[in-house]
Amino acid sequence: YSRFTDVIGLTMAHMDGKDHDSRRSIVAPPMVGKNLEESLLPHVRSASEKIAGGLDREGPFEARSRLGKQLPLKTMVRLLGLSEKDEGFLSDVTTKVIRALQGDEPYKSIGRAAHDSFALLLADLIGERGKNPESDLLTSLINSEDEEGNRLSESEVISFMSLLLVAGSETTELGLTNFLQVLLSHPDHLSRAETDSEYLNACFTEFMRRDCVVAYEDRGVTEEIEIHGVSIKPGEFVRVALLSANNDETI
């Protein structure tokens, strides 16, 4: 909990109950289903084509930096309504913030300073979108509300975009790179996936189940519980092994 809040502030990921439900109902609609496909999918396709077009077809290249890192970066730039000239700044902020989440100095202070710069940029953008709305996620977050008419404050919009920056960068980067490695290790599946988009989608779904991008997550306990005869007290942490759950080694 404190590893995140000390660097990027309080986010909806660290809320429970009504507080979490309210904020989730505000941020979810622009990011799922048809809304997401119409606003983002064309950009992801064009960005993917541009990245692929810039690769050296005659020799080897480093897949993580040339492919895995570039697509989520360009997507985040689009979500924020920024331009290509901002990619370097956003990449630097992302790297420093993720490193800061490990909690050790001097990286924690460096990451917090980088996030402060990102927050200032977002504050300016929020002011601009309030006067001149655009077709980006930031505008949607500013104007969306829950069933009771509540909207996100400026600080909440900033904290959510910061969470998205962290959650959508390294995980996507590793996911894309590892998925490519799996396909290359199974040339028969790769050959079919190259000509069958539905099969490619099925391969990716199975990859996410079998290999998992996030192997485990920690969850803080708010009330005393007992699991398999073990008593867990409030304030203690439970490590949820997602990779184990998806593969179930007990079978």
Q: Which two tokens stand for residue 37?
A: 């496909």
Which pLDDT score is estimated for 7?
Answer: 83
Q: CA–CA separation, 162 vs 160, rounded Å?
A: 5
Which pLDDT score is estimated for 76?
Answer: 85
Which pLDDT score is estimated for 177?
Answer: 93
| Cα 65–Cα 123–Cα 148 angle in degrees, nearest 5 | 110
Q: CA–CA separation, 212 vs 198, rounded Å?
A: 20
DSSP structural state of residue 165: H
Q: Using a CB cutoff of 8 Å and minimum separation of 24, what contacts does 77-80 make?
A: 78/40, 78/43, 78/47, 78/136, 79/40, 79/136, 79/137, 79/138, 79/161, 79/164, 80/122, 80/125, 80/136, 80/137, 80/138, 80/161
| Sign of the C-alpha dihedral computed for residues 156, 96, 110 and 129 taken in this order | negative
pTM exceeding the 0.75 threshold for the entire prediction: yes
Q: Per residue in 122-152, is it b (16+ CB within 10 Å) or e — as a string?
A: beebbeebeeeeeebbbbbbbebeeeeeeeb
CB 117 within 8 A of CB 10: no
Residue owning tokens 């990011």: 31
* pLDDT tens across the length of the chain (251 residues): 567 778 887 777 777 788 888 888 878 877 777 767 777 788 888 888 888 888 877 678 888 888 888 998 888 888 787 888 888 999 999 999 989 888 889 999 999 999 999 999 999 999 988 888 887 788 888 888 888 888 888 888 888 888 888 888 888 899 999 999 999 999 999 999 999 999 999 999 999 988 888 888 888 888 899 988 999 999 898 888 888 888 876 65
Which pLDDT score is estimated for 1?
Answer: 56
Q: Is 4 helix (H, G, I), strand (E, B) or coil?
A: helix
